[in-house]
Chain A
Amino acid sequence: MYKIVRKKDLNAAVTLMEIEAPFIAKKAHAGQFIIFRIDEQGERVPLTIAGYDREKGTVTIIFQKVGFSTIALGNLNEGDYIRDFVGPLGKPTHTEGIKHVCVVGGGVGCAIALPSAAAFKEAGAEVDVIVGFRSKDIVILEDEFRAVADNMYLMTDDGSYGEHGFVTVKLQQLLEQGKKYDAVLAIGPIPMMKFVCKTTEPFGVKTMVSLNPIMIDGTGMCGGCRVTVGGETKFACVDGPEFDGHQVDFAELMSRNGTYCQREKEVTETHACRMETMGKALIP
């Protein structure tokens, strides 16, 4: 059982939670993920780590309430418990040897882009950050990014805040201006990551993306998270979650992630009453 020690709604759909998990907090690195399960009937859901406090023994997650389990998790409060919390899984963000990096975050993906940006900074790199949101009301973590970024660019799709346009517009501009990056790290919705890769490809800039396929165990056992990278089958849980974006088959990933779409809708409707009670029984 794992205690929720802090909860903060970052916007209407995105919530931050700090979970007491001392073993994981001790070992976690940017880029890795955890799997949570709310209660005995719950499914195992992977979430990339948004932060950790080794002293306090806590791990921070930031999630969008989009599916059955994330909505249910969002219904819990400080002091509540969740049944399972396992990690750190996957490989950390590779920062070694990178002097100039551009971290690109989209929407809730910014939550995971932030610790990676911080890790690059800590490793001595010069860090440019481009974050993109649909509109002003859903902007998250702006101050936190400004604290680690050497150059910070905030974009909104509708121009209601920062600069108008997609993150790729800014990235294209910077590359055309002659900015030299050893690597670009893109974290966000699949189409965004795909277009970031398309943008960087002509410039020959190595581009890493953080993938979020469906998975169960997160230890290499089920193979549900397999993705095709450079024509080879890789398991995102153990070989990733970060991969060379120029090699990733995004269309396949997008399709596979839709495997249970219909069923997810049904569950969210039929189990709606359960959602209210999930996790509550665990309070000791």
Chain B
Amino acid sequence: MPNMSLKKTPMPEQDPKVRARNFQEVSLGYTAEQAIEEANRCLKCKNPKCVTGCPVNIRIPDFIAKVQEGDFKAAYEIISSTNALPALSGRVCPQESQCECHCVRGIKGEPVAIGRLERFCADWYRENINAMPEKVENNGTKVAVVGSGPAGLTAASDLAKKGYAVTMFEALHTAGGVLVYGIPEFRLPKAIVANEVKKLEALGVEVMTNMVIGRVLTIDELFDMGYKAVFVGSGAGLPMFMNIPGEALKGVMSANEYLTRTNLMKAYDPAADTPVIQSKAVAVVGGGNVAMDAARCAMRLGAEHVYIVYRRGEAEMPARLEEVHHAKEEGIELKTLCNPVEILGDENGRVRGMKCVRMELGEPDASGRRRPVEIPGSEFILDVDTVVMSLGTSPNPLIRSTTPGLDTNRKGCLIVDENEMTTREGVFAGGDAVTGAATVILAMGAGKKAADAIHAFLNK
């Protein structure tokens, strides 16, 4: 008998008051009983629509059927046959706009909690079995993967499984890209990312950290070294600022800097040497997922007040509903329809406040969203000592500027054809480096597609 409850089985979470001051994971995951209960909400549609929404083609009803039977190992194996990183996507994928929005149960009530079930299977496997994959004998054909974020990890995994001798190059000292420097510990524990990297190494992938491609080696030199194809998954790491007065004051940072200090460098841990500003009141400017992450980090680092300052309304925020909900639960205050015009400094050059102007929504603009318009004379000063700019990022120019023949669009994103190949023969690309800042799962999808395309290219 299917479980006909209209609501998803709730997933246990840390109490908002407690978690707002620690860096442990917010969502605790299903127990086996809860997973089976939720799996029983799946109606096993003959023509499952959910699968069409998945960028990595997970056989969703098949794995859920195994969860219903309590065969979690089989469920995990079904997921991992098409998705290299289920513990990650189960946590950070926007399922509400991917698989779950196609679920028939969502027509009347909530869809099946596919993401939570995916996470459960991945966690169960890691905690109970965690078998490292068998090393695949490689065919001697070398492929380079540049970047070790979601796109690179997926491409490297798929290419290694196809038998290629894969080297993955990472610019920072730890592999994982945005999964380690950007997404905070409380949403995605770093031990899980490290475990995925370990699995890649077990497959035979060589992981080289501290390698800034474009500087220490160019793409052309990689070919000279015998690599037959290159996948560029270097992400979109270049932060934007507002260009308003006061942005050079001490206490103004990009979200990238704030998150990198906090996550990659573990500034929240007293044992780590890297400092981060100790703030009383923080304004995070922007309304995306990165803004939510920065705001929630600020709260955990001990700020008394944390504001999200966003020029449109709450309904227009690009962040996932779940992230906004979690942020509000943790005491983060939304200052919507509000735009910074100047950051004010004290006599020591530190932030002492941020002057904002109130906005109202006018006619829809090119993006279809209603354009925010300033309300004259509505300026006010927000009492903050730290400002974090979370306005979006664009791809780093290091690779495109050192690789002749690699074309980019106006925004600096690499141009690729339908097979993810750039304008340079044998150089493929995917993820944020191609799309501009987007989601983990889209990057994983691109990495997967590129791995297939590279395989086809090398077997022409």
Interface residues of A (CB under 8 A from B): 23-24, 27, 37, 41-44, 68-69, 83-89, 216-224, 226, 228, 233, 238, 249, 252, 255-256, 258-260, 263-264, 267, 271
Contacts and interface: CB of A to CB of B under 8 A. Distances in A.
Contact of A23 (B173, B217, B274): B217
A249 B172 CA distance: 29
A87 B248 contact: no
Given A27-B216, A216-B261, A222-B254, A260 B275 contact: yes
Size category of the B interface is 35 or more
Contacts of A249: 248
B256 A222 contact: yes
B208 to A, nearest CB: 9
A86 B212 contact: yes
Contact of B273 (A85, A228, A271): A271
B238 interface: yes
B279 interface: no
Contact of B396 (A68, A86, A220): A220
B265 interface: yes
Nearest to B271: A41
Q: Which 4 A-B pairs have the closest CB atoms?
A: A222-B257, A86-B210, A255-B349, A223-B254
B126 interface: no
Interface string B181-200: 10000000000000000000
B257 A224 contact: yes
B271 A224 contact: no
A255 B249 CA distance: 8
Contacts of A83: 173
Contacts of A42: 273
A154 B277 CA distance: 41
Contacts of A222: 239, 253-254, 256-257, 260
B260 A86 contact: no
Nearest to B270: A270
B237 A255 contact: no
14 contacts: A23-B216, A27-B215, A86-B210, A217-B181, A222-B239, A223-B241, A223-B254, A223-B256, A233-B243, A238-B397, A255-B349, A258-B250, A263-B278, A267-B275
A88 B243 contact: no
A44 B274 contact: yes
A252 B278 CA distance: 21
A24 B216 contact: yes
Interface in B191-239: 209-212, 215-217, 237-239
B398 interface: yes
Contacts of A226: 241, 248
Given A84-B209, A86-B212, A271-B273, A223 B248 contact: no
A229 to B, nearest CB: 12
A264 B172 CA distance: 23
Contact of B275 (A228, A238, A264): A264
Given A222-B257, A249-B248, A252-B349, 7 more contacts: A24-B216, A44-B265, A86-B216, A217-B172, A222-B256, A226-B241, A263-B275
B171 interface: yes
Given A83-B173, A217-B260, A255-B349, A267 B273 contact: yes
Nearest to A263: B275
B173 A87 contact: no
B265 A252 contact: no
Contact of A220 (B241, B266, B398): B398
Contact of B238 (A43, A88, A220, A260): A220
Given A221-B260, A264-B275, A84 B210 contact: yes
A256 B210 CA distance: 27
Given A223-B253, A223-B254, A87 B241 contact: no
Contacts of B215: 27, 87-89
A256 B212 contact: no
A256 B253 CA distance: 11
A88 B250 CA distance: 28
A255 B237 CA distance: 26
Contacts of B243: 233
Contacts of B264: 216
A41 to B, nearest CB: 5
A262 to B, nearest CB: 9
Nearest to A37: B173
Contacts of A23: 211, 216-217
